[in-house]
Structure 1
């Protein structure tokens, strides 16, 4: 499976996002994965009432119709599950772990579906078959042997269903710990920590229908064409009816420029629809200053309107009735320096003014954002500032307006709703106590970054991964590897082989599970599971493909089996719940009032909405109001300190996905929209920076992190690619550049790795 260098090329892409190339890619994916023809029909059940929720992104579904509701990257996710390739004991008989470690993440993905439970054998350096019962007993034995439950940590991927997540958190809390690192810690945790302080709930205040009524949509730090392509249909429709769409992103992403919808044949002929009418391109780490600048300019526009006895720019009635802290916020804005804001944002005052005027002219404004806003040191402050900005004109809790954090994985939001939370609310723990008759642990647990630190220093000895690829998704990759190898036991529940199986503890288990597309047949028949999308809709998902192996078990089944082996069935009939997932939904309804009549409500086509209080202008904050929060523009940052040492040699790196990638899963080696083919070790750089630093296009460089702890962090042999990116900024793919992100380079409050603002130096690579 080695890759030929002859296929590597840089070829700028002149077409709109989507279009015929998207359809072509869909066909190529199905052929490459050797998906049986009988399973092509799977695609027409994706995101439909009688089918399954896409295992990819968390973008919500439109009202269900006969039109297909899948996208190019959804096809890749489905094809990866439906592939005909298999990995069983015979595969591991041919390959040691050491041999597999030499393969790339792309090569590991191509081997196919795991088919049977496996245990690591140190003597042969191979994984060998183990029975399910023996695997459960081994996990239970390790957990029971720990001196304290806090010496185990339980990671959860956003692929996990509500039913599994609920049982998992109940099992782990009955075991005795709140150590729940999850994928949200690595991506949208900043949203989850920022919004409760401003509007009371860390979720979107909009539903999909609001996009039909918005006249202005501001898109911060997102690349929808790759990360949630179905969003482009909503943006296309909004642009077609005259809404103003603004892209705020260092990169001018293809999908936010033009989009040719495969569902609209005329788009394929006329070059597609123009999406964004305004592009604002802050420097990396400049979002907070930019948004604060917009808020300051909106306040100035309102001051001018008041002086001229004109129509107010601020929504004075909303501020008076619903908000607290505005006067202090306004005073802070007036005191802020325009030169400081413009310099920190990396954009001229004219751009800030243009964005402020666009916002001020909008009558119904939606602000959406992705990880471009959440993975900086000041991300929580930036999201709070965006919330402040939206409150200034009453753009929360009314038709066509609101806050819209766009989550990545399909049920990362639902997992948090079900209690996958290292800092659980006391009221939630009280309810668990009252319903199940045990005293849950009350202290804060470990998140993803703190779990790595705890494994490094020996405080955590058992790591349990419920999906995902923890070894590659996390920062400071060599230290994460060391941490995992320091464990007594690592457990991975997975569908396909990834590097986390190869970076393991002294004892290790691979427990293969059903995919979202596969039929989950239990005692009472095929089971559906529920998920919650980015806009709080909860709906059922039923697999339709036969399982890849008769030995596969569902995540729910595996969790219940381990819980029963560890705790027994005295307080909870773990194994009984496996027979009928409706009984788990009944348990969920006992704990969460919002899930009353869960089974009846979710049986309706499209499911039901978990309406956040903030959408109804009820504010679950200490003041009982939408709370303005003052945050200062920080000047003494790690990047500023690094620049003081290295001058204009210092660059700032952002990590990103390629188009043929989902999280750490590498489907292929192309990034069509950015014009990169057959390779991943590329570094996007402004041509002026390239010339200033003495490099040439196509030259290879090594990248070094500038940090305070004396640890060398490097990523070698990256090809420089001239690209339209702001000066001083670099772009590269993860996980290849995750080794450059220091473990303690995290966002304030949320502890999210700063994957979008890494201070680095470049050196010419050795020949």
Structure 2
């Protein structure tokens, strides 16, 4: 690599989040990516009505006409896409796959944009050029040679537009399978599976307007400063008008302490900042379920006391009577729960739980938001349902300024699910799709991410197609996932930049380069817009403005259409007709999916339109016709419990997390400045008392091994110990470096999400350090 490696150091960060530090790193990113002068103007069209939607997170836009509707990480995403660096056929001619495998994920990212379709040549261990027609013919040949359509799996990243995703699911279902592993399976699947059982639909119930009216916000398992920085602007406004904000997270994140808004000149010029959260609760990793149940128990006790004293009740009895089912059974379960067990399992003292319950009970309009800190545990579905229970106790669903707010990661992960990327589709969806397109869709449920890896290992999946993403690195149990991909007859990766999944490939392999969100998408000389749905169910359109990185790129939508045309022909569906004008795809979505009436007309309005969420209107689409209280017992026999019974307090519970210079698996740089980590990524955050108990000190190097019961050794070597404010018995480290420690069989109940936030591990002094000693 031409760039020098940054100096590794640990240096605590004492400044507010964002501010001048964010602007400095925006400039660094633009320079490092060698963004050409004209493309700087791209930023001023980001999240604008006549511009493009940010390819980063799914946080919605407050002012769709604001000049500065972008953030530090959004700029990094745009800079990475607008880079002038290129990965050409000449690059592949100069590098074998074996040589590229020795580079880090950060180094692979730095090579730049892919320019041409490439096919793997086993004789030379290199990718070589192939024509687009040749690539599509190769895909069709492999797919049509399979004995059963279920021998192929079709992965989707959350960056895919509604148009590409809808055409993709239509192609795959006409081909004959529901094998749709997607990034939802690894992040918010607990939300998608948990909320329908309580409120009837797996989406949040709030819009940004509700944040203007909320007086209390409970933020569970989130680090907005890194994962969705524009949310901090919203929280800043809430804090400044006096709303109570509570951060509930094992890590006390800098962005929820103080925030300096780059969009407010006075704050910047005076070096000022705004305090965000007034209360910090740090449950142990995996302790949120017990904590939320403890808060609910205390709210019930407060209501009992109010009833006995003849004072106003704490529960919203009118809401419970008119809109809910199952409250009596839920209340009975709460009363029977043990306070000592709640304290033990949550890791939070009773007085803090009672304090949080008072904050919640005093709030008249409460929003509960959450990220993957709640969704990547064995009991994640139960946790989401317990949070729904808590919010229903005081009627905080379906009224202004209150509600449930899951914050999705990738920009269109929610939209993909809405338009049909779903391995377990409803019969109603399939019925309507079949009527519109005149075919009988497959009814058998397909494979999710974990099931796809297991099927590849067993030889049941022979063709893998990835529409975006970095499957080999995003997934758990890295060595086993790599074995699975290499067992395939064909792997196809549709991508903008080189990543690890292009190097961990099947016997035959294709890299298909695609347009980015920032680039002009011309079909028959007409610029096309693509649509996305954000975390709050707003659908808006996006037009690229940059010249494509290569004249040989195709859009994701066009690639899907050509794959379908080559594989199935166009007698049933005229794929190329749809790809020639994306408005036709939106018309097809309107016919196939409820809620998209007048799609093209409504999405043309500035800001787009809101997809109806029935639970927001207290329309409960459940079997009971009401919102359901769902009781759940505390679980004292999880894999972490069993590991501790074997090894005692030596077992640490690992949570994987992002660094600040990272988006999903994309590594922009080697810093995590808000946590004080610079020039490195192989670090473990650990409590000072655990360092002493284990016989280590900050600055020691360790290897990590997983405690599991299948006889497979899982390890990750060479990590620096960093003393940090994290609960006892818990450690944090970055993914994908620690994904090898997550067992494939370690999944959440009901939703099958990998439990990447609760991995039982042991720490060993690293072999290199031991030898040096």
- Band the TM-score falls in, shorter-chain normalisation: over 0.9
Structure 1 match to 2:647: 646
Q: In structure 1, what is the equivalent of residue 198 of structure 2?
A: 198
**Could you give the per-residue CA deviations for residues 186-215 of structure 1, whole angstroms, max 9, x where no partner exists?**
000010000000000100100001001000
2:369 counterpart residue number: 368
Residues 233-272 of structure 1: matches in 2 within 5 Å? 233-268=233-268, 269-272=270-273
Moved more, 380-389 or 519-528: 519-528
Residue 214 (str. 1) matches residue 211 (str. 2): no
Look up the SS of the partner of 2:47 in the other structure: coil
Match of 1:344 in 2: 345
Q: Aligned runs of 1:254-403 on 2, under 5 Å?
A: 254-268=254-268, 269-403=270-404
Cα distance in 2, alignment partners of residues 511 and 637 from structure 1: 42
SS at match of 1:170: helix
Change (3 A) 1:68 1:524: same
Give the drift of 1:2: 7.6
Q: CA offset at residue 524 of structure 1?
A: 5.5
1:507-542 superposed Cα distances (whole Å, 9 cap, x missing partner) = 000000000000000115000000000000000000
Residue 420 of structure 1 aligns to a residue whose secondary structure is coil
Give the Cα separation in 1 of the matches to 2:434 and 2:587. Answer: 17
- Per the alignment, residue 509 of structure 1 pairs with 510
Q: Distance in 2 between matches of 1:286 and 1:241?
A: 31
What residue number does 2:228 align with? 228
**Match in the other structure for 2:763:** 762
Q: How far has the Cα of 1:64 moved from its partner?
A: 2.3
Deviation at 1:696, TM superposition (A): 1.3
CA drift of 1:474 comes to 0.1
- In 2, Cα distance between equivalents of 1:499 and 1:456: 19
**Aligned-partner Cα distance in 1 for 2:493–2:757:** 28
Distance, in Å, in 2 between the alignment partners of 1:220 and 1:2 is 41
The whole-number CA distance in structure 2 between the counterparts of 1:288 and 1:725 is 18
Distance in 2, Cα, partners of 1:608 & 1:432: 23
SS in 2 for 1:395: coil
Q: Is the Cα–Cα contact under 8 Å of residues 219 and 368 in structure 2 kept in the other structure?
A: yes
Deviation at 1:433, TM superposition (A): 1.2
Q: Tell me by how many angstroms 1:729 deviates.
A: 0.5
Residue 3 of structure 1: how far off its partner (Å): 7.6
Does 2:113 correspond to 1:113? yes
Secondary structure (helix, strand or coil) at the match of 2:103 reads coil
For the 8 Å contact 1:524–1:579, the answer to whether it is kept is no
CA distance in 2, matches of 1:711, 1:52: 46
1:140-155 alignment runs, 5 A limit: 140-155=140-155
Report if aligned partners of 2:49, 2:65 keep a CA contact under 8 Å in 1. Answer: no
The answer as to whether partners of 1:56 and 1:73 remain within 8 angstroms in 2 is yes
Give the whole-Å Cα distance in 1 for the aligned partners of 2:291 and 2:142: 50
Q: Give matches, 1:77-92, under 5 Å.
A: 77-92=77-92
Pairing 1:165-180 to 2, within 5 Å after superposition: 165-180=165-180
For residues 123-143 of structure 1, the C-alpha deviation after alignment (integer angstroms, 9 at most, x for no partner) is: 000000000001000000000
Q: Determine whether 1:160 maps to 2:160.
A: yes
1:61: how far off?
A: 0.5
User: CA–CA distance in 1 between the matches of 2:256 and 2:227?
Assistant: 12
Map residues 493-532 of structure 1 onto 2, 5 A cutoff. 493-523=494-524, 525-532=526-533
Give me the whole-angstrom Cα distance separating, in 2, the residues matched to 1:275 and 1:383: 24
Spell out, residue by residue over 1:565-610, the C-alpha distance to the aligned partner (whole angstroms, 9 max, x if none).
0000011110011111000000001101210110001000000000
Q: Which residue of 2 aligns with 1:741?
A: 742
Alignment of 1:621-700 (within 5 A): 621-700=622-701
Deviation at 1:32, TM superposition (A): 0.4
Find out whether 1:427 has 2:437 as its counterpart.
no
Q: Secondary structure at the match of 1:7?
A: coil
- In structure 2, the residue matched to 1:132 is 132
| Stretch of structure 1 that moved more, 550-559 or 266-275 | 266-275
Q: Which structure 1 segments of 5+ residues have no match?
A: none
CA distance in 2, matches of 1:636, 1:558: 47
CA distance in 1 between counterparts of 2:662 and 2:271 reads 28
**1:510-659 paired onto structure 2 within 5 Å:** 510-523=511-524, 525-659=526-660
CA distance in 1, matches of 2:162, 2:718: 42
| Distance in structure 2 (CA, Å) of the matches to 1:541 and 1:729 | 42
Partner of 1:487: 488
Q: Distance in 2 between matches of 1:67 and 1:724?
A: 38
- Kept after mapping to 1: 8 A contact 2:200/2:627: yes
Paired residue secondary structure (1:64): coil
1:545, CA displacement in angstroms? 0.2
Contact 2:63–2:69 (CA under 8 A) maintained in structure 1: no
Deviates more, 1:265-274 or 1:742-751: 265-274
CA distance in 1 between partners of 2:235 and 2:267 (Å): 14
Aligned counterparts of 1:50 and 1:435: Cα–Cα separation in 2:
32
* TM-score between both structures, scaled by the size of structure 1: 0.99
Work out the number of aligned pairs and report it.
767
Determine the C-alpha separation between the residues in 2 that align with 1:458 and 1:524.
Answer: 44
- Secondary structure in 1 matching 2:429: helix
Deviations for 1:77-136, whole angstroms, at most 9, x for unmatched residues? 000000000011100110000000000000000000000000000000000000000100
Aligned residue number for residue 771 of structure 2: none
Relative to 1, partners in 2 of residues 1:465 and 1:166: Cα closer, same or farther, differing over 3 Å?
Answer: same
Distance 1:396 1:283 in 2: 27
The C-alpha deviation readout for 1:153-196, integer Å capped at 9, x for no partner, is 00000000000000000000000000000000000001000000
SS at match of 2:716: strand
Instruction: State which drifts further: 560-569 or 62-71.
Output: 62-71
8 Å CA contact 2:152, 2:463 repeated in 1 = yes
**What's 1:35 paired with?**
35
* 1: CA distance, partners of 2:56 / 2:64: 18
Looking at structure 2, the residues matched to 714 and 344 of structure 1 have their Cα atoms a distance apart, in angstroms, of 27
**Secondary structure in 1 matching 2:136:** helix
Instruction: Specify the SS of the correspondent of 1:300.
Output: helix
Tell me the equivalent position of 1:456: 457
Q: Do the aligned residues in 2 keep the contact of 1:59 with 1:228 (CA within 8 Å)?
A: yes
Q: Secondary structure at the match of 2:595?
A: helix
Q: Cα RMSD between the aligned structures?
A: 0.8
Distance 1:663 1:357, change over 3 A: same
Is the partner of 2:767 in helix, strand or coil?
coil
Cα deviation, residue 624, structure 1:
0.3
